Structure 1
Amino acid sequence: MKNKEGQQSLQDSLTGLPEWASERVMQQIRQLTNYEPAIGIMGKTGAGKSSLCNALFAGEVSPVSDVAACTREPLRFRLLVGDRHMTLVDLPGVGESGARDNEYAALYREQLPRLDLVLWLIKADDRALAVDEHFYHQVIGEAYRHKVLFVISQSDKVEPTSGGGPLSKEQKQNISRKICLLHELFQPVHPVCAVSVRLQWGLRVMAERMIKCLPREATSPVVSQLQPSFRTTVVREQARSDFGETVGAVLDSISAFPLIPAPVRAVIQAVRTTVVSVARAVWDFFF
């Protein structure tokens, strides 16, 4: 019901446009509101991929079995929250089988264009990063660096371990050093995150950073998949803003059609600010 109210408000804001232009805008907005994001998650066996996904997302995720390390096809999981879907793609970790890394390189090159984001998990106590570094620079390369968010997982295992209690000052200092090391090795586009699912540490910051890394059309659908505790004001406002800007981009793309009459182009440009404002205002109706 709210979805229809939101659509009606947007439709009303397009008054003055020719019917064909208004319908074209609404068609693309409907596609936007039904966008199904795809997030890849990679890491060596035991990096905690499934536990992180279960901690972040509200939909049930099937556990990743050890067989995944031997499969040459990425495992896909479809999450459902309400009537919204999101796909998680479990990508094989590199460096476990040198014979297969070449195959994995081909697999990644095939998958990367289809993914909105890749969460690259590196265990806090993993020191063997040479293969990861080579793979990142040679396979991910310049074209897809913006799609990768590095996550230091299992931060509670950083020395000196605290016997199950909260992270100690020394552990946090060593995690900071690990973050600096990853920045030196990989020179990532986005800041490195560090989390401990067991301690529920760092997850909110990671969720906020993940939303900032996503392409604009994917932020709102991903927010609707997050656990309620991670749908913070920062997260929601980022998604609301992105939705407005994406709707604005729809108007821009139609205005740029070469055969659009000048008067119609002028009307589109005149209503743009209002339509974007309405889109932000009705964001909650959709998501």
Structure 2
Amino acid sequence: MKNQDGLQPLQDSLMGLPEWASERVMQQIRQLTNYEPVIGIMGKTGAGKSSLCNALFQGEVSPISDVTACTREPLRFRLTLGERSMLLVDLPGVGENKQRDTEYATLYHKQLLKLDLVLWLIKADDRALAVDEQFYHQVIGEQYRHRVLFVISQADKIEPTDSLGGGLSAAQKRSISRKIVTLHELFQPVHPVCAVSVRTKWGLKVMAERMVRSLPRVASSPVVAQLQRPFRTEQVKEKARSDFGETVGAALDIVCNVPLFPAPVRTVIRAVRDTVVSVARAVWDFFF
């Protein structure tokens, strides 16, 4: 029902178009509002992939691939919240078996084409990063660097550990800062490296914001819809709202560039574009 309430103002903003052209645009917009994002998560055994997902997202998780299957294949899960869903792909970690790393290279090439983003978890106390570095540069390469967000997990375990078991100490935060610098030097990532501690709830809000900023525009809004409430900050929602407006504008551009469309119709589409984008931003809450 909310989707229909949001679609009506968009439909009204297209009233200057012929009905067949308006319906073509609305078809594109419906596809955008129903987009199912796909996020890959990788990291060595014990990196805390499941706990991070549970901390970030509020939907119900259900397996859509055989969880008893060989771990050389990625496990796929659907995260559902109301009528919305997203896919989580649990990718096998590298560096634990040299023979399998060769197989993983082929697997990753296939998966990267389907993923909106990869969360690459590296444990805060993991110093053996040579294999990760080699795999990243050889397999991810320049083509997919923009799809990887590095996350330092279990930040509370970095030295010097707090014997009292509380939050991160000042010394630990300095160690994390040095670790972030190291990862930037090794991987030269497109997106800023994040650091989190699920146990102490440290860094999760910053990571959620950076994740949304790292996503393709079409994926940011449906991912925001899945976030736990504390991470749906005004900055996060505004980024998603802006992305949604731009994706609707891009949908108009696609329709406008259809060769069979008469020139007068294209002129009208261009004339209403800014209005439609503004309306899309205004009705964002109806959809997400």
TM-score (norm 1): 0.96
1:75 pairs with 2:43: no
Alignment size in residue pairs: 284
Question: Secondary structure of 1:121's partner?
Answer: strand
Alpha-carbon distance in structure 1 between the residues aligned to 2:28 and 2:260: 19
Alpha-carbon distance in structure 2 between the residues aligned to 1:157 and 1:257: 55
Question: Secondary structure of 1:114's partner?
Answer: coil
Number of the residue aligned with 1:38: 38
Number of the residue aligned with 1:225: 226
Report if aligned partners of 1:54, 1:60 keep a CA contact under 8 Å in 2.
no
Report if aligned partners of 2:61, 2:80 keep a CA contact under 8 Å in 1.
no
Alpha-carbon distance in structure 2 between the residues aligned to 1:69 and 1:144: 27
Alpha-carbon distance in structure 1 between the residues aligned to 2:175 and 2:49: 22
Alpha-carbon distance in structure 1 between the residues aligned to 2:266 and 2:62: 49
Number of the residue aligned with 2:248: 247
C-alpha deviations, 1:25-71, integer Å up to 9, x for none? 100111111100110000000000000000000013469xxx98961
Report if aligned partners of 1:69, 1:92 keep a CA contact under 8 Å in 2.
no
- Residue 16 of structure 1 and its aligned partner are, at CA, apart by 0.9
Number of the residue aligned with 2:181: 180
Greater alpha carbon shift after TM alignment, 204-213 vs 255-264: 255-264
Alpha-carbon distance in structure 2 between the residues aligned to 1:225 and 1:166: 26
Alpha-carbon distance in structure 2 between the residues aligned to 1:2 and 1:59: 19
Q: 1:137-156 residue pairs with structure 2 within 5 A?
A: 137-156=137-156
Structure 2 segments unaligned to the other structure (5+ residues) = none
Alpha-carbon distance in structure 1 between the residues aligned to 2:229 and 2:168: 24
C-alpha deviations, 1:214-239, integer Å up to 9, x for none? 00110110011100111110110011
Question: How has the CA–CA distance of structure 1 residues 26 and 62 changed in structure 2, closer, same or farther, with 3 Å as cutoff?
Answer: closer
Number of the residue aligned with 1:89: 89
Number of the residue aligned with 2:29: 29
Number of the residue aligned with 2:161: 161
Number of the residue aligned with 2:115: 115
Alpha-carbon distance in structure 1 between the residues aligned to 2:121 and 2:58: 20
Q: Percent identity?
A: 79
Report if aligned partners of 2:112, 2:144 keep a CA contact under 8 Å in 1.
yes
Report if aligned partners of 1:41, 1:120 keep a CA contact under 8 Å in 2.
yes
Number of the residue aligned with 2:6: 6
Alpha-carbon distance in structure 2 between the residues aligned to 1:130 and 1:62: 34
Question: Secondary structure of 1:86's partner?
Answer: strand
Q: CA RMSD in A?
A: 1.4
Query: Structure 1 counterpart of 2:252, which letter?
Result: L
Report if aligned partners of 1:158, 1:171 keep a CA contact under 8 Å in 2.
yes
